[in-house]
């Protein structure tokens, strides 16, 4: 019986077209992910090449002035791209994976935008997560919306009902066949992904896969429930498409509008303005007062005796430092605002499985806002490290040649925030049980209605 049902399913014309379509788009998505990884690699080698040629060039020109040299040098830090990132590109195409900063005031450099074509961003990536989140449900709907209603409309349901001893099991089998076929497609794409993107079989990937399967099961449970309502094929189609529309287009977009209006970020502008003023106005203020404020922040530099140099770099970098110090309040507010956005969107997403899946997949692939905020945080620490390393050398006007400029590596940020499986899978499991339970309950009442 189950073999017949399977052949019957797979032989229907639309099914094979749908499966081929899904596989094609899935493989395309892997190529898109591959290209994304390659571009990240490219910008990594671009930044290495630039740093190597630029550092030695600048060091040669400004060989006798450490302070002036450090005015120009840009140190780079990279937000590590994992192979998994190619599966869920998330916000990585918006936010730059490379930060290049001088040791001057940071706040004016930290938020520098990447070069992007907004038309690409607007229409979005065709990555694996897009295929999973948008297209798989459509196929699930297409394969199941008329699973019983079609038989009823063709007048064959009463024969099926009379002939099978466990009608409920039969319906279950019909669903199981479709689930198995689509799971196979998912596994084929994932298997290819492992080799195309060189994904290590670590716990992050396993959780990624489990989330994908959970997401599919969620949609199957929804379809199961809708089938249990025993409506006509057209009604089922409209109802399921309506659910798809609500979960993938309307609710997320509405939530996005809400978050934007609820948490506007004028703090961003406030920070840059405060930073500019904080630094520039010091040119017209008392030098000693500025340097004293600097010592208040970094008492350790008071001990370094002043040396004669063409420019008073201690004062200059003190001014720069105060640009950051005096915009710290605004910068803190900005950070807090962004964390609020992140926290509330995650909280709300728990109730909308599509959103939850997208956010968790990008979290696992390290391509969400959380990762970006941690990268900015790391950039701040990196910048501080560079400052503290070079301040004493500048103040003592150390010899430029004493530093090995060609060995300056590009720093890498590897995001290793732990991700618990319960947070990721919990909401999905709850929704799956809810809809499967509702469907089962309803079927018990309606299954023998002919």
Work out whether 353 is an interface residue with another protein (CB under 8 A).
Answer: no
Interface with another protein in residues 393-412 (CB under 8 A): none
Interface with another protein in residues 421-440 (CB under 8 A): none
Would the CA dihedral through 394, 400, 402, 406 be positive or negative? positive
Member of 355, 386, 424, 432 binding another protein (CB under 8 A): 355
- Among the listed ranges 193-201, 210-218, 350-358, 387-395, the one in contact with another protein (CB under 8 A) is 350-358
By beta-carbon proximity to another protein, the closer residue of 90 and 439 is 90
Distance CA 104, CA 384 (A): 10
DSSP class of residue 77? E
Member of 183, 210, 243, 265 binding another protein (CB under 8 A): 265
Work out whether 42 is an interface residue with another protein (CB under 8 A).
Answer: yes
By beta-carbon proximity to another protein, the closer residue of 94 and 188 is 94
Lay out the site mask for another protein across 189-208 (x = CB under 8 A, - = otherwise): --------------------
By beta-carbon proximity to another protein, the closer residue of 179 and 349 is 349
Helices H / strands E in the chain, number of each: 20, 3
User: How many other C-beta atoms can be found within 10 angstroms of the C-beta atom of residue 46?
Assistant: 12
Would the CA dihedral through 111, 117, 121, 124 be positive or negative? negative
Enumerate the H helices of 62-127 as residue ranges: 66-72, 107-110, 118-123
By beta-carbon proximity to another protein, the closer residue of 168 and 283 is 283
DSSP, collapsed to helix, strand or coil, labels residue 412 as strand
Work out whether 43 is an interface residue with another protein (CB under 8 A).
Answer: yes
Member of 358, 387, 394, 443 binding another protein (CB under 8 A): 358
Interface with another protein in residues 318-347 (CB under 8 A): 338, 341-342, 345-346
- Residue 38 phi/psi, 5-degree rounding, is -65, -40
Cβ pair 443, 167 in contact under 8 A: no
Total interface residues for another protein by CB under 8 A: 90
Interface with another protein in residues 86-105 (CB under 8 A): 90-91, 94-96, 98, 100
In this structure, are strands 411-413 and 98-101 parallel, antiparallel, or unpaired? Answer: unpaired
Member of 16, 39, 302, 444 binding another protein (CB under 8 A): 39
Distances (CA, A) of 255 to 88, 248, 263, 283, 424: 21, 11, 12, 46, 20
């Amino acid at each position: 019986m189950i073999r017949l049902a399977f052949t019957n399913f797979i032989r229907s014309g639309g099914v094979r077209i749908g499966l081929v379509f899904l596989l094609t788009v899935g493989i395309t998505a892997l190529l898109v992910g591959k290209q994304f990884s390659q571009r990240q690699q490219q910008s990594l080698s671009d930044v290495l090449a630039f740093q190597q040629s630029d550092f030695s060039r600048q060091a040669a020109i400004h060989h006798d002035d450490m302070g002036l040299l450090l005015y120009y040098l840009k140190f780079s830090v990279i937000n590590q791209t994992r192979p998994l990132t190619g599966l869920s590109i998330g916000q990585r195409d918006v936010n730059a994976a490379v930060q290049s900063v001088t040791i001057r005031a940071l706040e004016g450099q930290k938020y520098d935008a990447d070069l992007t074509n907004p038309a690409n961003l607007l229409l979005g990536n065709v990555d694996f997560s897009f295929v999973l989140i948008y297209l798989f449900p459509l196929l699930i709907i297409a394969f199941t919306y008329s699973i019983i209603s079609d038989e009823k409309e063709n007048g064959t349901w009463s024969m099926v009902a009379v002939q099978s001893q466990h009608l409920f099991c039969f319906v279950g089998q019909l669903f199981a066949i479709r689930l198995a076929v689509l799971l196979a497609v998912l596994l084929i794409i994932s298997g290819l992904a492992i080799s195309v993107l060189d994904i290590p079989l670590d716990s992050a990937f396993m959780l990624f896969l489990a989330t994908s399967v959970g997401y599919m099961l969620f949609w199957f449970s929804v379809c199961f429930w809708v089938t249990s309502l025993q409506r006509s094929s057209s009604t089922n189609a409209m109802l399921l498409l309506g659910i798809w529309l609500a979960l993938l287009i309307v609710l997320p977009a509405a939530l996005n509008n809400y978050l934007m209006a609820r948490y506007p970020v004028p703090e961003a502008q406030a920070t840059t303005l405060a930073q500019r003023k904080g630094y520039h106005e010091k040119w017209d203020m008392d030098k000693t007062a500025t340097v004293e404020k600097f010592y208040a922040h970094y008492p350790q530099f008071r001990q370094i005796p002043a040396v004669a140099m063409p420019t008073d770099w201690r004062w200059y970098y003190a001014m720069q430092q105060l640009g950051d110090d005096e915009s710290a309040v605004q910068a803190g507010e900005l950070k807090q605002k962004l964390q609020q956005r992140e926290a509330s969107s995650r909280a709300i997403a728990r109730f909308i499985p599509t959103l939850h899946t997208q956010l968790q997949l990008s979290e696992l692939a390290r391509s969400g806002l959380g990762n970006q905020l941690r990268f900015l945080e790391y950039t701040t620490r990196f910048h501080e490290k560079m400052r503290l390393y070079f301040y004493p050398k500048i103040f003592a006007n150390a010899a430029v040649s004493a530093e090995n400029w060609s060995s300056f590596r590009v720093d890498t940020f590897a995001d290793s925030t732990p991700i618990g499986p319960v947070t990721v899978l919990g909401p999905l499991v709850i929704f799956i049980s809810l809809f499967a339970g509702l469907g089962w309950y309803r079927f018990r009442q309606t299954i023998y209605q002919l």
